[in-house]
Amino acid sequence: MSADHARDLVHEGYDVAYVQEKWLPVWDEIAPFKSGRPDDPRPKKYVLDMFPYPSGDLHMGHAEAYALGDVIARYWVQRGFNVMHPMGWDAFGLPAENAAIKRNIDPTIWTYENIAVQKASMRRYACSFDWDRTFNTCDPEFYRWNQWLFLQLFERGLAYRKASKVNWCPSCQTVLANEQVIAGLCERCDTPVTKKKLTQWYFKITDYADRLLEDMSQLEGKWPDKVLTMQRNWIGRSTGANVLFQIEGRSEPVTIYTTRPDTLYGATFFVVAADSDLAAELAKGTPAEAKFNEYVEATKAASDIDRMATDRPKTGVFLERYAINPVNGEKLPIWVSDYVLADYGTGAIMAVPAHDQRDLEFARAMDLPVRVVVDTGEEDPNITGIATSGDGALINSGSLNGKSKGDAIAFINAQLEKDGLGKAARNYRLRDWLISRQRYWGTPIPIIHCPSCGEVATPLEELPVTLPPAAGLDLKPKGTSPLGAATDWVNVPCPKCGQPAKRDTDTMDTFVDSSWYFLRFPSSTDHAQAFSREATDTWLPVDQYVGGVTHAILHLLYSRFFTKVLFDMGKLSFTEPFTRLLNQGMVVMEGSAMSKSRGNLVRLSDELEKHGVDAIRLSMVFSGPPEDDVDWADVSPSGSVKFLNRAWRLSGDVSSAPRVDFTKGERSLRIATHKALHDASFAVESFRFNVAIARVMELVNATRKAIDSGCGPADPAVREATEAIAIMLSLVAPFTAEEMWERLGHKPSVALAGWPSIDESLLVAEAVVAVIQINGKIKERIEVSPLISDADLEAVALANPVVAQALLGATVIKIITRAPKIVNIVINNA
RNA sequence: GCCCUCGUAGCCCAAUGGCAGAGGCAGAGGACUUAAAAUCCUCCAAGUGUGGGUUCGACCCCCACCGAGGGCACCA
């Protein structure tokens, strides 16, 4: 470093690159964030960031998320907690596999290389992770327990195989999860997704629908409302009744589900989902069969995109058969249509066109009768074309006449149950979770298919069923799992009868991995079990979870489901895995997502190079509330650099010795320091990190002023303030804070300095300004003691000359006093 | 169409129902400097999307509307 350069640094601030390199090895040595010491007496806290896919180096989104999680973890360390803040990799899955195919290398090598890159970047980004607990979901040692879990569910009937229509991308030649279908298109190649009937593995999450819904009361106020609402929508519970309808010429009745059993007398026709088995059966042998087949073909050709158009005209075919309305014996014509879904309810409905908009549209298209049975006071749907759904007295409804909607539902449900014609029922939008994937890079499903024994669990002692080497397998998607070609791997004797059998060749959805990974961190070195009861009871549930809202439904719902299953198995003592949840926003550029095609991609490595780690972390955290998007066009990393230098310079100005008696310091700066500490603590605990930083900025300004034109650099209060600044800054700008701490004469690490205790007596000001209002308008400000009583404050206010003047000739109606802040005098001016 | 969240200086954002401004960005002026950069100081601006209501008092609570973002969407 030249002499000129060194002199410049004295003015400009510290050498960011040098300081970053200086502290990393020191921190490696001190390891301030280890949580595994058995004799650690500190109370425990589990702070968890959602783990990443290793699909490349870290990007701006990671930088934001991990900066936020770090503030929380580092804060609780400073507050004296034994914080476990672990990190690992969600390393299986399509992104990794596709990248590996594109580059023609083994996904194993590609994945572990990326993990190494990301891990090194996290270290340089000064993430406070406890690296002793790390693991990757593609480690056989991890997915072994994935397979164990699968078998636990299989034993309990919660994992099962069924044939069903699944999302299929004809271009990628693979099934897609629901979340990979965006507006009817494949998320990767934008090809319209079709349906294909395949036999696949499912987890029976629907068994837990009610508990997933009801246990949300534990999360109220601790998770974002938005996420809870989204989960409620997704589960989609509705209440109504199942009702049996006899079908002419069929011995068995058909069950329908309705949310409006009160409108049974208003049913004028019956509709069966076109793609259901029931429709095919009912159509068979009727004169309408040919037309029916034609219709089903046409429906199949229509893609999901067409189906999703809400204003699409209703279509259907009359089967020339009839259902019998159980309440009045009326013959209802049976139609098939694609507006009834085969996989919701029973795939068949009673149509009440007067009180259901979709039924009304169908009735009008097919010229079917409309009968009003609830007098809601609205106009006749026959005329308006708008179905009525409000409450009112029932009409045209036999014994229900005159009753309200609610009474009628209760009455008819009881009636149906008594007559064996139906009963109250619930339905859910939530479907069982399809976990099979016809891809290579995932956890092999530990089932062996035997011609005579059927589906046989792989014996536990044979786990893990490891993936066969990728070399020699064609990983390109072709509709069946690449594992099928690994003949040596596939062909095994049946564990039950010893006859030749075959392994299941599908792999599991990677959401299985992430549904319980948080249970593994406390037991990550335990090779005898997925997680130990002792470690889990010590650390879980997760006190604070941090991640993007993109996982609002799937990952979080699945994790809640697994937790409940494991609770039922007696493996866990809690039913909700994440006590508190913070959703961070995204990092965007000029209002829209950053993308290569738009050319507005901001590279994290460039930003770090330009401004340094601390300034980027600070910019992320200071930009606004954490759940808001960070618009990189709106933030000023160079402003952050300026502020950090400003704070750093204070540490060079302090001229008192370490461990000086702070109580002898200048009082007004001490008040500012303790108020900043108090306010920053409160702000951090309520996730208002931007506000916490604003408080630190204020304190930096106050300290600067004290040094330059106040008590001077030797006053103990200046040291107290600067040390408090270093400690508060350590949450977000660890390099700057450590450098300050050293210049203040302390040994590293500032991360373990401990949050200064707050002197409450300094938080109570000696005098405060009270406001005197007349009719809500401010008339005067007076200085009073913060301890003044209501009566005294009122007396002082009335004695004030300005106030007395204003009150001349007016009648005082009322005086509201809130000591020591405000007096409001309500007058009636003539 | 239904549900959720949000509208405060030019911009990002603060304000337990009690003085609308904490902090930052941008801008203006000044000090220092031969000059510039850096630094330090000072200043600037909105009456809270619109219209009602509750209240002694509303950015805050309630209703309606406008606008932005997000979620769900033929779920019987």
Å from the A5 CA to the B35 C1': 19
Q: Is the pLDDT reported for residue A694 higher than 90?
A: yes
Calculate the angstrom distance between C1' of B63 and CA of A391. Answer: 22
- pLDDT for residue A9 is more than 60: no
Q: A35-69, pLDDT tens digit by residue? A: 878 788 999 999 999 999 998 889 999 999 999 99
pLDDT above 80: residue A424: yes
Give me the CA A147–C1' B63 separation in Å, rounded.
56
* Nearest nt (C1') from A696 Cα: B23
Nearest partner of A524 among A545, A541, A509, A539, judged by Cα: A539
pLDDT over 80 at A400, yes or no? yes
Q: Calculate the angstrom distance between C1' of B42 and CA of A694.
A: 21
Nucleotide with minimal C1' distance from the CA of A625 is B13
The reported pLDDT for the residue numbered A708 is 86
Distance A683 CA to B71 C1' (A): 29
Contact predicate A697/A618, CB 8 Å: no
Nucleotide with the nearest C1' to A818 CA: B18
Nearest nt (C1') from A315 Cα: B74
Q: Are A715 and A640 in contact (CB under 8 A)?
A: no
Q: In this predicted model, what pLDDT tens digit does every residue of A492-538 receive, in sequence order?
A: 999 999 999 999 999 998 899 999 999 999 999 999 999 999 999 99
Looking at residue A258, its pLDDT comes to 92
pLDDT band at A712 (very low <50, low <70, confident <90, very high): confident
Q: Which residue is nearest to nucleotide B39 (CA to C1')?
A: A11
Which tops the pLDDT comparison, A88 or A8?
Answer: A88
Q: In the structure, how far is the CA atom of residue A235 from the C1' atom of nucleotide B74, in angstroms?
A: 18
Question: What pLDDT is recorded for position A767?
Answer: 66
C1' of nucleotide B4: residue with nearest CA: A226
User: What is the pLDDT confidence band of residue A6, given thresholds at 50, 70 and 90?
Assistant: very low
What pLDDT is stored for residue A178 in this prediction? 65
Opening angle at CA A808, ends A804 and A811, nearest 5? 105
- The interface pTM score, or ipTM, of the predicted complex is 0.92
For residue A727, pLDDT over 70 is answered with yes
Q: Before A326, cis peptide (omega within 30)?
A: no
pLDDT surpassing 90 at residue A112: yes
Stated in angstroms, how far is A529 CA from B62 C1'? 56
Taking each helix axis from N to C end, the angle separating A613-622 and A637-653, rounded to the nearest 10 degrees, works out to: 110
- Lowest average pLDDT, out of A196-200, A620-624, A669-673, goes to A196-200
Q: How far apart are CA A210 and CA A215, in angstroms?
A: 8
- What's the pLDDT at A568? 95
Protein-proximal nucleotides of chain B (any atom < 7 Å from a CB): 3-5, 11-15, 18-20, 22-26, 37-41, 56-58, 70-76
Q: What is the percentage of chain A residues whose pLDDT exceeds 70?
A: 95
The nucleotide closest to A306 (CA, C1' atoms): B74
Does residue A725 or residue A3 have the better pLDDT?
Answer: A725
The DSSP code sequence of A9-62 is HHHH---HHHHHHHHHHHHHHH-TT----TT--SPEEEEEEPPPP-SSS--HHH
Q: How distant is C1' of B52 from CA of A206, in Å? A: 47
Whether the Cβ atoms of residue A355 and residue A263 lie closer than 8 Å to each other: yes
3-state secondary structure of A171: coil
pLDDT band at A311 (very low <50, low <70, confident <90, very high): low
Q: What pLDDT score was predicted for residue A308?
A: 57
Instruction: Give the H/E segment covering residue A512.
Output: helix A510-514
* Shortest-distance nucleotide from A12 CA to C1': B38
Query: Which ranges of A582-709 does DSSP label H, i.e. alpha helix?
Result: 604-611, 613-622, 637-653, 667-685, 689-709
Nearest protein residue to nucleotide B56 (CA to C1' distance) is A826
> For residue A474, what pLDDT band results from cuts at 50, 70 and 90?
confident
Out of A36-40, A88-92, A422-426, A576-580, least confident range: A36-40
> What's the CA–C1' distance between A777 and B46, in Å?
19
Percent of the residues in chain A that have a pLDDT greater than 90, as a whole number: 50
pLDDT of residue A765: 66
Collapsing DSSP to helix, strand or coil, A628 comes out as coil
Contact (Cβ atoms closer than 8 angstroms) between residue A120 and residue A150: no
Report the distance from CA of residue A543 to the C1' of nucleotide B76 in Å, as an integer: 41
Q: Which residues fall within 8 angstroms of residue A517, CB to CB, at 6 or more apart?
A: A51, A88, A90, A137, A142
Q: Which nucleotide has its C1' atom closest to residue A356's CA?
A: B76
Name the closest residue (CA) to the C1' of nucleotide B14: A691
Task: Tell me the pLDDT of chain A averaged across its residues.
Answer: 87
Whether residue A155 is predicted with pLDDT greater than 70 in this model: the reply is: yes
Closest nucleotide (C1' vs CA) to A686 is B16
Distance A623 CA to B48 C1' (A): 21
Nearest residue, CA→C1' of B5: A226
**What's the Å distance between residue A552 CA and nucleotide B4 C1'?**
13
Residue A672 in tokens = 């500012």
* Alpha-carbon distances of A758 from A245, A299, A699, A762, rounded to whole Å: 72, 70, 15, 8
pLDDT at A179 over 70: no
Residue A303 has pLDDT above 70, yes or no: no
- Summarize the confidence of residues A660-671 as an average pLDDT: 90
What is the bridge-based pairing of β-strands A454-457 and A269-273? unpaired
**Helix/strand/coil for A689:** helix
pLDDT band at A310 (very low <50, low <70, confident <90, very high): low
In this structure, the number of other CB atoms found within 10 A of the CB of residue A44 comes to 16
Query: Which residue would you say has higher pLDDT here, A789 or A116?
Result: A116
Q: Among A784, A760, A752, which Cα is nearest to A771's?
A: A784
Distances (CA, A) of A39 to A42, A134, A376, A533, A543: 9, 21, 70, 19, 21
Is A223 exposed, middle or buried (CB count within 10 Å of its CB: 0-12, 13-18, 19+)?
buried
How far is the CA of A752 from the CAs of A11, A111, A195, A730, A774, in angstroms?
30, 34, 57, 9, 52
Give pLDDT, residue A188.
Answer: 67
C1' of nucleotide B6: residue with nearest CA = A628
Q: What local confidence, expressed as pLDDT, does residue A302 receive? A: 64
Minimum-distance residue to B70 (CA–C1'): A226
Return d(Cα A32, Cα A751) in angstroms, integer.
7
| Confidence check: pLDDT of A3 > 50 | no
Please tell me the predicted confidence (pLDDT) of residue A180: 67
Q: Which nucleotide is nearest to A228 (CA to C1')?
A: B4
The per-residue b/e assignment along A799-821, b for 16 or more CB within 10 angstroms, e otherwise, is ebeebeebbeeeeeeeeebebbe
A778 CA to B47 C1' in angstroms comes to: 15
pLDDT at A159 over 90: yes
For the CA of A775 and the C1' of B52, the distance in angstroms is 21
Over residues A566-576, the mean pLDDT reads 95
**pLDDT tens per residue across span A756-787:** 999 888 887 666 777 787 777 777 777 777 77
Cα angle A476, A481, A485; round to 5: 85
Instruction: State the residue for tokens 């919701």.
Output: A344
pLDDT tens track for A15-30: 888 899 999 999 999 9
Q: What is the mean pLDDT of residues A77-91?
A: 95
The structure tokens 């997915």 sit at: A143
Q: What are phi and psi for residue A585, nearest 5 degrees?
A: -80, -170
Indicate the angle between helix axes A60-78 and A667-685, nearest 10 degrees. 120
Angstrom distance, A631 CA to B67 C1'? 20
Nucleotide with minimal C1' distance from the CA of A361 is B74
Burial class of residue A542, CB neighbours in 10 A (0-12, 13-18, 19+) = buried
Quote the pTM value.
0.90
Q: What is the mean pLDDT of residues A442-448?
A: 94
CA–C1' nearest nucleotide, residue A704: B40
- From the C1' of B19, which residue's alpha carbon is nearest? A771
Q: What is the pLDDT of residues A218-277, one digit of tens each?
A: 888 889 888 888 888 888 888 889 999 999 988 999 999 999 999 999 999 999 998 888
List the structure tokens of A233: 């929508």
